[in-house]
Amino acid sequence: MDTHLPIAMMATSAQPSEEESRPLYSFSPVELASAVVQTSNLSADLSPRQQDTLATLKMKIDALETKYGKEGLFENEDILRTYATIFDDLFFFGSLISPGQNRIIIKSIDKYYAHDIHPRMGESVHIRSRGICEISIWRLNEDGQLGYRNLSAMTLLHEMVHAFLMLYACGPCNKSWDGGGVTGHGQAWLDIMSILPIELVQHGVLDSSVFEFLDLESDLAAELIDSKREIPDETTLEGWGLNRKRLEKEMMEYQVFLAELGERGVILP
Ligand SMILES: [Zn+2]
Ligand SMILES: [Zn+2]
């Protein structure tokens, strides 16, 4: 599709009636990413929605900590949904969660799914017939322990960026490298995901340990190999805060992983 809706229809600061005018699958993924990146600067002019969220943030998190403990683990959907609403109001124009028109469903699942060398803590499944994404966050980490709050928060954010692009970007464009790419971790996704955690930490929503869980090199490694692309130039990598050596290591590991799967006759979906 060559024609996309003007991005202003997405980035509007949104009264409920305006939210209805954001058709799914209609925007350029590149424009969506730059709109999110622009709006994610929480030190700049904030929309009323963002101001409101930042003003009530501490209260919301305190309430969760009182209820579930300070070392609070992401044990339940109440905690996940509170964070999802905060992320949505700060970065996604409230386009994912709104009363009467929820675009994402969030589930806390009691399992751990190991994708061999690519352990995942969650997934986002697009249900096109219903115009929604179902986001599942695993409760358990690789040792079978309950996952840390920051790990779950990062996983949640990661999946929400996928959901945002899958739901609002034009489908064919989103499959290209400058959109979500073939694995979901293309340029538009990286542009967004490399920025949001920094803003969240700077504004005290999450603490800096989240960066330990932000393994963008492994996300990009799979994207590059599956789409048979060369490693982007140094400036691009630096823009995403990525380390070339680490990316190359991840790519090698991913190739070994694929070869082993091939020997066992497994074909990835
Ligand atoms: Zn298109
Ligand atoms: Zn992903």
User: To the nearest whole number, what is the mean pLDDT of the chain?
Assistant: 87
Cα 172 from Cα 106, distance rounded (Å):
26
CA of 257 to the centre of ligand 1 (A): 33
Task: Evaluate whether 168 touches 126 at the Cβ level (below 8 Å).
Answer: no
User: What is the residue extent of each domain of the chain?
Assistant: 8-210, 215-261
Residue 56 has pLDDT above 60, yes or no: yes
Cα 92 from Cα 223, distance rounded (Å):
24
Instruction: Identify the weakest region by mean pLDDT among 8-17, 34-43, 200-209.
Output: 8-17
Cα 220 from Cα 181, distance rounded (Å):
10
Of 138 and 245, which is predicted with more confidence? 245
| pLDDT tens-digit series, residues 132-174 | 999 998 876 666 666 667 778 899 999 999 999 999 999 999 9
CA of 64 to the centre of ligand 1 (A): 41
pLDDT at 143: 65
Ligand closest to Cα of 125 equals 2
Ligand closest to Cα of 173 equals 1
pLDDT at 112: 60
CA of 14 to the centre of ligand 1 (A): 24
Residues lying with their CB under 5 A of ligand 2, a single-atom ion: 184
pLDDT at 235: 97
